[in-house]
Amino acid sequence: ILNVEQSPQSLHVQEGDSTNFTCSFPSSNFYALHWYRWETAKSPEALFVMTLNGDEKKKGRISATLNTKEGYSYLYIKGSQPEDSATYLCASSNAGNNRKLIWGLGTSLAVNP
């Protein structure tokens, strides 16, 4: 994998459902993996930055895991609420140029009340 790929592209769930998205990234020379939430009419907001294989991070009902050997990260949302509706972006960097993030296209989540 040369780029950062996210799936699914979009997702519609009912309030209370739990859901998860996938981010695939280049595992070679990996440095860091970022997750952001981008709500309509706002700017992207950082959720997590992970660097170590096996990292798990949690923020309220949202959590993320990282597998650097196989190059993927999962973002989980437990008990989705309408305010979780947003585009979730992931981005990765490598040790060769660790200031540059390569961004996925995002997963657009819509939570229906």
Instruction: Tell me if 43 contacts other proteins by CB under 8 A.
Output: yes
| 23, 64, 91, 109: which one binds other proteins (CB under 8 A) | 91
Minimum CB–partner distance for residue 36 and other proteins (Å)? 8
| 21, 23, 25, 34: which one binds other proteins (CB under 8 A) | 34
Strand order of the β-sheet with 56-59 is 5-7, 19-24, 72-77, 62-67, 56-59
Query: In this complex, which beta carbon is closest to other proteins, that of residue 13 or of residue 105?
Result: 105
Minimum CB–partner distance for residue 48 and other proteins (Å)? 8
Helix, strand or coil, per DSSP, at residue 82: helix
Helix, strand or coil, per DSSP, at residue 83: helix
Cα 8 from Cα 70, distance rounded (Å) = 19
